[in-house]
Chains A and B, each alone.
Chain A
């Protein structure tokens, strides 16, 4: 049985100027799962991810029609503040982007700006968030050091911890492993699987093996359209759409 949708795109069109990046996307992301969005470069997968937490709005000259629902509530029409939305739907980027602050301050940043915790409870929240990504043991003795002194893979886990500290519901990950080596990638993938216990994850990836390894559901996008969406196992073994088959068998992409 498919779990109830956490995020839902309805007849979603999105334009950069006059260029249509998304053309009528209908997609329901099931709660408590990992959904992978795959597709060739320029197919609009990152755009779709950014539309989910309105990060598209910081780019000038874009517009959108259709709607996105978070637990059935429109995030575009119902006057939901973008800051509230982004607290609930956080994002991890392609390149690890910890702030040039201390490790502690990086994780404490979110709770501070949202007024979630202070003093001892803030320290506890930071520790929990770092433990959730298994970074705590590696950094507990150097919390006051610059986050930029960490390894890239540790930085990426720090970025995830930083996000978990604001207690979000959905994590959007935009090719989170593309700047990492295979061993580090494996660690992040394991982490993602663990996180599904408490969060809904949407991951954009170039890497089909990665989608096959970590996700329960996969959306295949092509030229701004959603070509196919389904259980990952089915999509990869028995694609309904011939275009999907061409892509996953490596005929193009």
Chain B
């Protein structure tokens, strides 16, 4: 019996470490392929760091290839921020409604439905944005470019909403009943209780939901690839076409010559994405922990 238990324990432990190991190995692989940007003289000559982070043209396959990452970074930023601005408030208010105001039967319909949204493949969302949403937005607002950052951002919001909603709703629901009772027993109505007691109590969880939503948005590829117009334009206008970091990898890695400068640049983009999400999650985690400590007075 003890032998069996030990076997099971070892297996479980091994699985846990396999996941961590896979994560580390992925990062090592991506990092290794990006490293020649710094070490190989020929790559450095073609794509110097100054060019990568100091110029605004991304043309890796022209006769004089140019590797300016800034339009891609800006495109990612625009699309991600729009997605969070559109999806965040929607998801958070839906979560608040579900946990505080919805009658039980509505909650039982609402929660699984929104979570079902997470199951829609992103290529389907992208296709919808490409064919339907883009035309509709253009006919309403009369934008010059049918596929643009706003279109991609709104489509991306549909990918962000289920995550933010689920995590935030869980955070709100797990606020102890005694807080709500205490508030109601003083003559507060449901809205005052929700807004002034439940939301502050659940704030760490709500913030964590937003961080997860950001991670989802920045990494999402297919929707942005299909709905943004995919043009690496360095412009602040939200109605210009845009291209994100992740979409660039998806679109170009299949065509690139292994070991060439653009190949290594694509891996640099991959590392950037990895570091960006990692740092966001780390900062988010740190902030949530501090907030929780402050809230609980430890």
Which of A6-14, A69-77, A87-95, A229-237 contacts its partner? A87-95
Residue of B nearest to A57 (CB): B184
The answer to whether A100 touches B188 (Cβ under 8 A) is no
Bound complex: CA of A93 vs CA of B184, how far in Å? 12
Residues of A within 8 A of B200 (CB): 99-101
Q: Is the CB of A86 within 8 A of B185?
A: yes
Interface centre among A93, A97, A150, A159 (most CB of B within 10 A): A97
Q: Return the CB mask of B154-183 against A: 1 if under 8 Å, else 0.
A: 000000000000000000000010110111
Q: Which of A108-116, A125-133, A195-203 interfaces with chain B?
A: A108-116
Interface size, B (range): 20 to 34
Q: Are A109 and B184 within 8 A (Cβ)?
A: no
B148 CB to closest chain A CB, in angstroms? 43
Binds B, one of A20-28, A140-148, A208-216: A140-148
When distances are taken between beta carbons in the complex, the residues of chain A under 8 Å from B188 are 83, 109-110, 113
Closest to A83 in B: B187
Residue tally, chain A, CB below 8 Å to B: 34
For window 28-58 of chain A, which residues contact chain B by CB distance below 8 Å? 53, 55, 58
What residues on B are CB-neighbors of A93 within 8 Å?
178, 181-182, 185
Task: Give the chain B neighbours of A97 by CB distance below 8 A.
Answer: 176, 178-179, 181-182
B237 → A minimal CB distance (Å)? 43
- Asked if A146 and B296 sit within 8 Å, CB to CB, the answer is yes
How many angstroms between the C-alpha atoms of A90 and B201 in the bound complex?
22
Neighbouring A residues of B181 by C-beta, 8 Å: 55, 58, 93, 97
Most buried by A among B176, B178, B187, B297: B187
Contact of B184 among A58, A60, A95 (CB under 8 A): A58
A91 lies within 8 A of B179 (CB):
no
Q: Give chain B's interface secondary structure class.
A: helix
Report yes or no: A148 in contact with B185, Cβ–Cβ below 8 A. Answer: no
Using A55-B181, A100-B201, A159-B182 as known contacts, say yes or no to A113 and B192 having CB atoms under 8 A apart.
Answer: yes
B110 at the binding interface (Cβ < 8 Å): no
C-alpha gap A91/B184 in the complex (Å): 9
Q: A124-173: which residues lie under 8 A (CB-CB) from chain B? A: 145-150, 159, 162-163, 166
Closest Cβ of chain A to B158, distance in Å, is: 33
Are A148 and B297 in touch, CB under 8 angstroms?
Answer: yes
| CA–CA, A159 and B179, complex, Å | 11
Give, as a whole number of angstroms, the nearest-CB distance from A142 to chain B.
10
Flag if B186 contacts A99 (CB, 8 Å): no
Q: Does B196 contact A (CB under 8 A)?
A: yes
Whether B298 sits at the interface, judged by CB under 8 Å, is: yes
In the complex the two chains form, is B296's CB within 8 Å of A148's CB? Answer: yes
In contact, A99 and B187 (Cβ under 8 angstroms): no
Alpha-carbon gap, A99 to B180, bound state (A): 9
Q: Choose from A85, A95, A112, A148 the contact partner of B295 (Cβ within 8 Å).
A: A148
From B104, B176, B184, B197, give the contact of A86 (CB < 8 A): B184
B255 at the interface (CB under 8 A from A): no
Q: Are B295 and A86 in contact (CB under 8 A)?
A: no
Q: Given A99-B201, A100-B296, A113-B192 in contact, is the A90-B186 Cβ separation under 8 Å?
A: yes
CB closest chain-B residue, reference A163: B186
Tell me if A121 is interfacial: C-beta within 8 Å of chain B. no
Chain B nearest CB: distance from A126 CB in Å? Answer: 14
Distance between Cα atoms of A101 and B198 in the complex (Å): 11
Task: Confirm or deny: A84 has a beta carbon within 8 angstroms of a beta carbon on chain B.
Answer: yes
In the complex, which residues 175-234 of chain A have their Cβ closer than 8 Å to any Cβ of chain B? none
Given known pairs A58-B181, A113-B192, A146-B296, the reply for A86 and B201 (CB within 8 Å) is no
* Docked complex Cα distance between A98 and B189 (Å): 17
Which of chain B's residues has its CB closest to A149's CB?
A: B297
A58 to B196, CA, bound (A): 19
- Find chain B residues with CB under 8 A from A99 CB: 179, 182-183, 197, 200-201
Judged by a CB distance under 8 angstroms, whether B294 is at the interface is yes
Q: CA A95 – CA B181 in complex, angstroms? A: 11
The residues of B that contact A60 with a CB separation of less than 8 Å are 104
Q: Among residues 121 to 145 in chain B, which have CB atoms less than 8 Å away from a CB atom of chain A?
A: none
Contact A145 B184 (CB under 8 A): no
Q: Please report B residues at the A interface, Cβ cutoff 8 Å.
A: 104, 176, 178-179, 181-189, 192, 196-197, 200-201, 294-298
Q: A110-B186, A149-B297, A163-B186 are in contact. List 15 more A-B contacts (CB 8 A).
A: A53-B185, A60-B104, A82-B187, A83-B187, A86-B184, A86-B187, A90-B185, A90-B186, A91-B185, A93-B178, A99-B201, A100-B296, A109-B183, A113-B192, A149-B298
Q: Can you spell out 21 A-B residue pairs with CB atoms less than 8 angstroms apart?
A: A85-B187, A86-B184, A86-B185, A91-B185, A95-B178, A97-B176, A97-B178, A97-B182, A99-B183, A99-B201, A100-B179, A100-B200, A100-B201, A109-B196, A113-B188, A114-B187, A146-B294, A148-B295, A149-B296, A149-B298, A159-B182
| Interface, chain A (partner B; CB < 8 A) | 53, 55, 58, 60, 82-87, 90-91, 93, 95, 97-101, 109-110, 112-114, 145-150, 159, 162-163, 166
List 6 tightest A-B contacts by C-beta distance, closest first: A149-B297, A146-B297, A87-B187, A97-B178, A86-B187, A91-B185
